[in-house]
Structure 1
Amino acid sequence: MDAQERRRAILQRLNTATGPVSAAALARELGVSRQIIVGDVALLRAVGHPVTATPRGYVSDRSPGVTRTLACLHDGAGMEAELTALVDTGCEVVDVIVEHPIYGQLTGQLRLRSRYDVSQFIAQSERSGAQPLSQLTGGLHLHTIRGEDDSALNRAEEAMGELGFLWQEEV
């Protein structure tokens, strides 16, 4: 298999996957090193293919549905409750965004679709000892969420309101 065929195989695998696919898994499937896969994905992105790296692997950004951005505010202890509530409404938590005073917008890809995804993310966070991006901004952050339709997004927004996690601008 030459490099072009391998890149086509990577795109095919990502476009048909039901969740993130790790570089290591792609490397095993295609019989190359993880570093070759990382380079291939970089080249695919450079020519415009919508491939995103998440903490659990690569995903294709050809997801159907509608998106909305929610402004949220809570301390670090609220992260699991927030993410669980969002996926329980049938929405995917696409990312988290914070506005950093030096670097500008920082975005972390999440791609969380289920309670299992949330539990894996929380476990990884605890194992690593890393702090969530929202800690850089005193708990204020944005989430891009994706749902099947506006009613799913409305349920998600309502759930954040019930938890007291929706940021309300003071007037």
Structure 2
Amino acid sequence: MNAAQRRDHIHTQLLSAAAPLSATALAKQYNVSRQIIVGDIALLRAGGCSITATPRGYVIPAGGGMTVQLAVCHSAEETREELYAMVDCGCTVQDVIVEHPVYGQLTAALQLSSRYDVDQYMERMASNDARPLSLLTEGIHLHTLSCPNADALHHLREKLRQMGVLLEQD
């Protein structure tokens, strides 16, 4: 298999993958180095493929549904419950965004779709003694969400209001 064929195969895999695919796993599968896979992903992106890098690997965001950004504010201790509320409503938490006074907008990819994903994320945060980006902004942050439909989004907004974390314009 040549490099172009490998990139085609990787693209097809990403389109049909139910979970993120890591560069390490792809490298083992194609018997190449991780750096070769990273280069392949860069070339696929340059060719117009919408590939997102997450902490767990590469994904191609699914079409359909609706994408929205919600502003929230809460303590670090409330993070798990906030994320559970989002995935329990059927939404995928694509990222977290904070506005930094010096660096501007800081965005971190999350791609969380289930309680399992949330638990894995929280475990990684704890095992690395990492702090949420929202600590930079006293708890205020945005999440980009993929919601399956307007009902799921409405239900999520209600849940976040009940929790007292949703920030809304007056």
Displacement of 1:64 in angstroms is: 2.3
1:101-155 superposed Cα distances (whole Å, 9 cap, x missing partner):
1121111111111010000010011111111111111110001111111111111
Distance 1:79 1:162 in 2: 15
Q: Which runs of 5+ in 1 are unaligned?
A: none
SS in 2 for 1:27: helix
Distance 2:64 2:14 in 1: 15
Would the aligned equivalents of 1:134 and 1:141 in 2 still touch at CA under 8 Å?
yes
Displacement of 1:92 in angstroms is: 0.9
Distance 1:87 1:62 in 2: 16
RMSD across aligned positions (CA): 1.2
Distance 2:102 2:9 in 1: 39
Partner of 2:166: 166
Q: Which runs of 5+ in 2 are unaligned?
A: none
Amino acid aligned to 1:58: Y
Partner of 1:46: 46
- Are 2:12 and 1:12 equivalent residues in the alignment? yes
SS in 2 for 1:108: strand
Distance 1:77 1:50 in 2: 33
Displacement of 1:63 in angstroms is: 3.2
Partner of 2:97: 97
Partner of 1:56: 56
Amino acid aligned to 1:80: R
SS in 2 for 1:93: strand
Distance 1:99 1:71 in 2: 11
**TM-score computed with the length of structure 1 as normaliser:** 0.95
Would the aligned equivalents of 1:45 and 1:51 in 2 still touch at CA under 8 Å?
yes
- Are 2:140 and 1:140 equivalent residues in the alignment? yes
Partner of 1:108: 108
1:35-57 superposed Cα distances (whole Å, 9 cap, x missing partner):
11111111211222100010111
Percent identical across equivalent pairs? 50
Matches for 1:58-77 after TM superposition, within 5 Å: 58-77=58-77
SS in 1 for 2:62: coil
Aligned length: 170
**TM-score computed with the length of structure 2 as normaliser:** 0.95
Amino acid aligned to 1:75: S
Displacement of 1:168 in angstroms is: 4.0
